[in-house]
Structures are given as C-alpha cells and as structure tokens.
Amino acid sequence: MPEAGPRSIGRLGRRVIAILIDWGVATGAGWLFLGGDGFGILAVFAVLQVLFIATLSGSLGHLVVGLRVVPLAPKWVGVVRPLVRTVLLCLLIPAVIFDKDQRGLHDQLAATVLVRR
C-alpha cells in the first residue's frame, strides 16, 4: 500500500469520523423505528454496515470521508468478509486493537483493509 494518497491505509481521524457518522445514522434510525432500544440500534448499525460494505465497498461514513473497505486479495469484498468484520466491530475490542499498519483486528480477521479512495 502507498504511504499517502489513493489506496493508502485509512488513518485514525477519518475512521473516527466515519464511525461517528455510521453510529449517528444507526441511532437516528433506531430511535425512529425501534424506539431507541440499544440492541435495536446495534442491529441497525450491523445491518447497514454489512449491506453497504458488501454493495458499495464502504459504509455511509466511509463513503462520506473518502474511505472504502477492500479485501487483501484483489477481488469483490463479498458478503462473508463484511459480516465477519461487522460482528467483530460490534464487539468493539477488535476495533481498538490494531497492528503497526493501523489495521484493526476486525480487518485482520476479515482479511480486509480500509483504504482511501
């Protein structure tokens, strides 16, 4: 991966803004449709993550801040990778554990990487 520019690793600032956008959307939808139930909001977040990453290679937040999720092997990200990534992301711990390349444990286990567009 290049150090900067397109296809470089998505850095912490963009990732934090992206997850705040995603949580905001999920919270709004959860309050609107589910009355603000915490697990309902988490479920909305998870469904949106899987759907958007599988179809558009990034969540709403990722797309807004110029990031996308790509598999390590050059092919379609599929459905299983976003599902694994999202389940681990919802557990929070894997998302805050990352390697020297700033890839979260959820990305490492799903064999994906979050890059700039």
Per-residue pLDDT of the chain (117 residues; tens, 9 = 90+): 788 889 899 998 999 999 999 999 999 999 999 999 999 999 999 999 999 999 999 999 999 999 999 999 888 899 999 999 999 999 988 888 988 888 999 999 999 999 999
Query: Within a 10 A sphere around the Cβ of 79, how many other Cβ atoms?
Result: 13
Half-sphere exposure of 117 (CA within 13 A, CB side): 15
Looking at residue 11, what DSSP letter applies? P
- Strand 67-71 to 112-116 pairing: antiparallel
Is the entire prediction scored with pTM above 0.85? yes
